[in-house]
Structure 1
Amino acid sequence: MSAISLTPARRELIAATAATGAIGLLAGALRAAGAGDSIRPFTIKIPQNEIAELRQRIAATRWPDQETVNDRSQGIQLARLQEIVRYWGTEYDWRKGEAKLNALPQFMTEIDGLDIHFIHVRSKHPEALPLIMTHGWPGSVFELLKTVGPLTDPLAHGGSPEDAFDLVLPSMPGYGLSGKPNGTGWAPDRIARAWAELMKRLGYERYVAQGGDWGAPVSSAMARQAPRGLLGIHINLPATIPAEVAAVLAAGGPAPAGLVEKERAAFRSLDTFYKKYRAYAALMGTRPQTIGYALTDSPAGLAAWMYDYNNGEPERWLSKDEMLDDVTLYWLTNSATSSARLYWETMGQSVLLATAQRTAEISLPVAITVFPEEVYAAPETWARRAYRNLIYFNEVSKGGHFAAWEEPKLFSAELRTAFRSLRPAQ
């Protein structure tokens, strides 16, 4: 069985131990057909010397010149990043982030030759609907943690027991605690097949899937593949860009004629995104190894690269500690290069264009929530063109690209409503 891709010292100190009661949570779900199917309880404990080395590297940061403009048009501003990095190296406590993960049942299992890390939380409600949720870049399972309570125990969070979910939260291959592919081919279609195998291995015969950012093309690939048991999907970065609009965006031309107001607004947002912020995807999609050298060697460089995503303002909704939990996980697991390769696997496409593929092949039910601060607000007219079995579409009043992280209560309420019609009759 392949080992998780961590340093030798860390392999010795990260123990696969069961959290209290964790084995009970998997009762009836472990398969004994062979070693490759085994599910191993997992706990993370990063050696203190690796945390000390991170702080030393932060303290030794060599800073560039200050930007020559008074805005973010050249990237994240020097003073802003220096403040974030100073806090990271002197006040931030990784052990608190580590404890957030270890407070939940975590597991490892080998699928398709690769170790997959996942969090598995069963609801106390017996009729809970199993749900697998997929994070994106530059995210991780951290971005989904605040939804665990509202989704698994809705009664305690303003919902009804009938809306409960069992949650499966995997780390994508090459991200965080999952193994790193040592060959090519781990694109959304392959990840989707791995997720279907994971749900089968856990004993789930009926389930739903959800994703934003890269989780959207993974969930969409699952819907195309329609594995046995998958009832439908919910996505919050939908593949709704019509082919003629995508062609104009790629060419840098003006908005096509005949668009209604919401479609014109969506085009303007997409045009701004492609002109100002898409460089990260182009670079990782064509030179993930090259950018990886810099991001792997410099904590400040990694923080800048991740922070500048989503218009450079993640702290509109996230605290410094929440943001740095994610950045630190990437650093400690050396995931900058391995995560970037997902863009290369999709031939340098951004998530938006990668998702806007083959939607006509999806016959399973699809639900969409549009968050106003997303890269673009997908118009319902485009959504209905893209998905022939659209069972739910809603525009909410707040939230952005990392919706589950930013607005967990609203996000959870949307999933309860979106999937209600797919639950078995009580």
Structure 2
Amino acid sequence: MTDTTDIRPFRMQIDQSRLDDLDNRLAATRWPDELPGVGWSYGVPANYARRLADYWQTGYDWREAESRLNAFPQFTTQIDGQNVHFLHVRSPEPGALPLILTHGWPGSIAEFEKIIGPLTDPAAHGGDPADAFHVVAPSIPGFGFSGPTTETGWDLDRVARAWAELMHRLGYDRYGAQGGDSGSVISPTLGRLAPEHVVGVHVNGGLGFPTGDPAEFENLTPAELGRLAQYQDMDRSGYAIIQSTRPQTLAFGLEDSPAGQLAWIVEKFKEWTDPARELPEDAVDIDQLLTNVSIYWFTETAASSARLYKEGQKGWGATVDYSAIPTAWPCSRATGSSTHRGAGAQRRALVGVRSRRPLRRDGGARPAGAGHPGLLPIRARLVMVPHPVTDRVRRPRSRSPLRAARCRASRRAHPFATS
């Protein structure tokens, strides 16, 4: 298939019949039984799923969410035979640095809604205009409004190549890359593929899969070893095993039942949000969570988004070339973070960014902007905004009270230093 390089404006516009169908399906849900007194240990409790589905049907307003997201300029283009949907929000600051944001599963571009403003217009949010970004936030092929993939081979490397082409089409020669979950692999890969263009990388949710090399375990703290053990925790990673082996079988339930799609996603929000919070909506805005679920439902991408795991599993634990692109990751105290410094240090130049607050949603794990939307823009600026004289990635500056209050940069000897 020959690609067209045309970039076309796009607006979300879900037909009312689709909304009515969702309501009818939720009302007709056949709910499973459950054992008494087991809580979340067997999965999402049925009584909790009922309450959440009832709010989705009677309290949540998709049209309001659709209107908010449509306030951001959106476009589609074709890359490598695949439709790619993306937000493109330019900063009012002429010297802003382009930044490409990449979500993961079960995320979407909706998770960036609350951070686009602080990133593109920091002055309007109490920040420094020199820290502004032009934001590009694509939907991974197979996710959301990019629509289902139509052929095999759409693994994380191919997504990174598509992002390099997207930034080229937009005319951006020098840019930063940020990503969480799958995006925390795609963004560093983009840096390896286009080192002459990527000035810095920021990730949340991981620094790669451990390969088993003993060097990766040297000098790790007990907390870091505990986080590393999550890769072998079948109770937490069962979803990934299913999606990486039988995504098509799983999709029959998720594509036909909105309650099934809701439960499959909300369980991850329970596991990957602040461990001090009892329920997902205690850590993440419930309407934002349901906007995310609704995007999966309305775009019918349960199957294709799960296929990303099937396509990518062959690369889990594979060795990659070392990247000299400065790469920042959050140093979170939250015990659930999957960030693995040992593996990351073998593959890229790292600088840790510390915070005094738990960073489960936008730091230690998974979607970047849902929990503490003010923190990601700060950390991204720390590693990626070029110095106006040297054009090198600059260190945090103590003169900013906002930075001093929330972040610290951890400078270590090679290979953790970025200079």
Does the alignment reach a TM-score above 0.5? Answer: yes
Q: Deviations over 1:35-68 (max 9, x none)?
A: 8111111111111111001000000000111234
- Aligned twin of 2:375: 410
| 1:281 and 1:348 in contact (8 A); partners too | no
> Partner of 2:324 in structure 1?
363
Query: Over residues 212-240 of structure 1, what are the superposed CA-to-partner deviations in whole Å (9 max), with x where a residue is unaligned?
Result: 10101111211221254222211112325
- Which of 88, 101, 104 does residue 120 from structure 1 map onto? 88
Aligned residues of 1:109 and 1:117 also touching (Cα < 8 A): yes
Matched residues in 1 for 2:352 and 2:219: separation?
23
Higher mean C-alpha displacement, 363-372 vs 209-218: 363-372
Rounded to whole Å, the distance in 2 between the matches of 1:301 and 1:167 is 33
Looking at structure 1, the residues matched to 388 and 322 of structure 2 have their Cα atoms a distance apart, in angstroms, of: 23
- Over 3 Å counting, the alpha-carbon distance change for 1:162 and 1:147 in structure 2 is same
Which among 187, 190, 196 is matched to residue 164 of structure 2?
196
1:251-305 CA-to-partner distances (Å, cap 9, x unmatched) read xxxxx8985433333245555xx23221111111111100000000001000000
1:286 to 239, 245, 253: 245
CA contact (8 A) 2:98 2:172 kept: yes
Name 2:258's counterpart in structure 1: 299
**Which of 285, 295, 299 is the aligned partner of 1:333?**
299
Q: Distance in 2 between matches of 1:75 and 1:91?
A: 24
Alpha-carbon distance change, 277 to 263 in structure 1, aligned in 2, over 3 angstroms: closer
**1:14-53 mapped onto 2 (5 Å cutoff):** 36-53=4-21
For residue 309 of structure 1, what is the aligned residue in structure 2? 268
Deviation string for 1:146-204 (max 9, x for gaps)? 11110001112121111000000000001010032211011011110110000000011
The one of 254, 274, 284 equivalent to 1:318 is 284
Partner of 2:50: 82
Q: Distance in 1 between matches of 2:313 and 2:123?
A: 44
Question: Which structure 2 residues correspond to residues 107-256 of structure 1 after superposition, within 5 A?
Answer: 107-226=75-194, 228-239=196-207, 242-244=210-212
Following the alignment from structure 1 to structure 2, what is the Cα–Cα distance between the partners of residues 346 and 247? 24
Are 2:40 and 1:93 aligned? no
User: Is the CA contact 2:207–2:340 (under 8 Å) kept in the aligned structure 1?
Assistant: no
Aligned residues: 378
RMSD over equivalenced CA pairs, Å: 2.6
Task: Please list every run of 5 or more consecutive structure 2 residues that lacks an aligned counterpart in the other structure.
Answer: 272-278, 392-419
Paired residues of 2:191 and 2:198 also in contact (CA < 8 A): yes
- Taking a change above 3 Å as real, the CA distance of residues 316 and 387 of structure 1, as seen in their structure-2 partners, is farther
The equivalent residue for 1:21 is none
Matched with 2:417 is none
CA shift for structure 1 position 316: 3.1
Residue 399 of structure 1 aligns with which residue?
Answer: 359
Equivalent residue, structure 1, for 2:409 = none
Q: Distance in 1 between matches of 2:348 and 2:386?
A: 17
Can you list the C-alpha shifts for 1:61-101, whole angstroms capped at 9, x where unaligned?
00111234332110011111100001111111110111121
SS at match of 2:154: coil
Q: Could you tell me the percent identity over the aligned residues?
A: 41
Look up the SS of the partner of 1:168 in the other structure. Answer: strand
Q: Tell me, yes or no, if structure 1 residue 70 matches structure 2 residue 38.
A: yes
Question: Would the alpha carbon gap of residues 365 and 386 (structure 1) be closer, same or farther in structure 2, given more than 3 Å must change?
Answer: same
CA contact (8 A) 2:211 2:343 kept: no
Which residue does the alignment assign to 1:264? 225
Residue 330 of structure 1 aligns with an amino acid whose one-letter code is: Y
Q: Which residue identity is paired with 1:333? A: T
Instruction: Classify the secondary structure of the residue corresponding to 2:83.
Output: strand
Pairwise CA distance, 1:107: 0.5
Shift >6 Å, 4+ stretches: 245-248
> CA 1:319 to 1:245, structure 2 compared with 1: closer, same or farther past 3 Å?
farther
Q: Is the 8 A contact 2:245 2:310 kept in 1?
A: yes
**Counterpart contact for 1:76–1:308, Cα < 8 Å:** yes
Distance 1:286 1:379, change over 3 A: closer
Cα separation, partners in 2 of 1:423 and 1:365, compared to 1, 3 Å: farther
C-alpha contact (below 8 Å) 2:144/2:296 kept by paired residues: yes
TM-score by structure 2 length?
0.84
SS at match of 1:340: helix
